[in-house]
């Protein structure tokens, strides 16, 4: 990846496809996180903390699914 002006990063075709597909996934999860954190009130730790960790793990798992689907479309073997 080549760095361009400021914080912009130039992406190759595959990176751009993944970035675009992950956008919706991340936005959806970001909304859920905001709702959970706002609903936690002053109790950010404990139950809210574990719920947020679960959401982050779910986000990572969904990102892996998107990447695996992209590779499968290209005919790469999907390993576990």
Mind listing the pLDDT tens digit for each residue in 10-63?
888 888 888 898 998 899 989 988 988 888 888 888 888 898 899 999 999 999
What is the spatial distance between Cα 25 and Cα 63, in angstroms, rounded to a whole number?
A: 8
Which pTM was predicted?
A: 0.67
Secondary structure of the chain as H, E, C letters:
CEECCCCCEECCHHHHHHHHHHHHHHHHHHHHHHHHHHHCCCCCCCHHHHHHHHHHHHHHHHHHHHHHHHHHHCCCCCCC
* Pick from 32, 22, 12: nearest CA to 60: 22
């Amino acid at each position: 990846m080549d760095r361009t002006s400021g914080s912009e990063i130039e992406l190759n075709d595959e990176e751009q496809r993944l970035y675009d597909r992950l956008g919706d996934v991340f936005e959806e999860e970001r909304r859920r996180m905001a709702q959970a954190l706002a609903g936690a009130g002053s109790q950010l730790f404990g139950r809210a903390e574990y719920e947020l960790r679960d959401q982050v793990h779910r986000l990572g798992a969904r990102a892996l699914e998107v990447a695996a689907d992209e590779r499968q479309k290209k005919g790469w073997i999907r390993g576990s």
